[in-house]
Amino acid sequence: MTHTQPRQWMAEQFGLGRSLCLILDSQDEREMRQALLKTSPFDYYQRVYSETTVAELADVGPFMFLVDNLRDASINDLLNVPERNWGWLASIRKGELPVLVRHWRDRLLTGMRPHQAIYRFHDNRVLSRAIEHLPEEAYPEYLGPAVSVCYWQGQRWAVVNNPAPAPYPVPDDPLWLHVPLPESQLMDILQANAHRYLLAEHTQAYAHLAEHHDPQMWLGTQLALARAWGWLTPEQLEFLLIQSLKAPGDSLATQWPVMTGESPMEHFERVCQAMKFWQKEGPL
């Protein structure tokens, strides 16, 4: 890993005959995305989530843009505000934007149904933490066709070169999925995945909730409750979210407090049994 300024890195990559690609968080940078779309030819950008099982989220998912102008005003605006964590930059061989998009589409979903989660590769904090923990020999499978990447790591800009850029199949047990996450980032990812899950699997109930509550604030409250209770397995999170959608006032907090000396698993099993009884699915 080396430290350099992004404009210097961009100029070096251009000088080596490579294409530059902006990986942009479309959801949080919608205004910037629209500005780039107005000036980009059709073949200069792609919606990463299109043509995947999460295609319904393509408009709020990451976009990839080719950058062929070092003086592009939108790019320079982004470089001036790295603390917004808008994404990162990659250099690729000419004509390989579709290859880079396909690489990350193949790595997009983690886990098994119905507990799949989206891997937020477009978040520079996710990329930074993965590179920090991965051995260099794992860079090619992770970065794929990207020749070099430039990203904000929280305090400074960093550059990492891929020792063997090329398309690679996804490993059976990718090392980057074992990278520990900071608590704040973990909760952000949990909230994004919970939103996607409810939007896809419980559309009507979630839409009804949105008539009375801000969905993101409601999700934040439920996940804070899950953390306080120690309910962080996929099964426990799914149960809490679904039952909270059904509960009067959209919350289980006042109905199911933790008993003194009760472990998270004991608490979860007790609440499950109680819910089955009240919903006529089993004995109390």
Per-residue pLDDT at 283: 44
The residues facing 2 across adjacent strands are: 159
Locate the domains of the chain by residue range: 6-178, 183-278
**CA separation for the pair 168, 257 (Å, rounded):** 48
Per-residue pLDDT at 254: 58
**8-state DSSP, 169:** P
Quote the Cα angle for 171-163-16, to 5°: 130
Per-residue pLDDT at 50: 95
The amino acid sitting at 255 is: Q
Mean pLDDT lowest for which of 12-16, 99-103, 141-145, 260-264? 260-264
- What percent of the chain stands above pLDDT 90? 53
Mean pLDDT lowest for which of 14-28, 47-61, 181-195? 181-195
Per-residue pLDDT at 111: 75
The confidence band for 192, taking pLDDT boundaries of 50, 70 and 90, is: confident
Which token pair is 15?
């000088």
Mean pLDDT computed over every residue of the chain: 89
Could you tell me the pTM of the whole model? 0.67
Per-residue pLDDT at 176: 94
Which token pair is 40?
């980009």
Helix axes 215-229, 234-246, angle to 10 degrees: 130
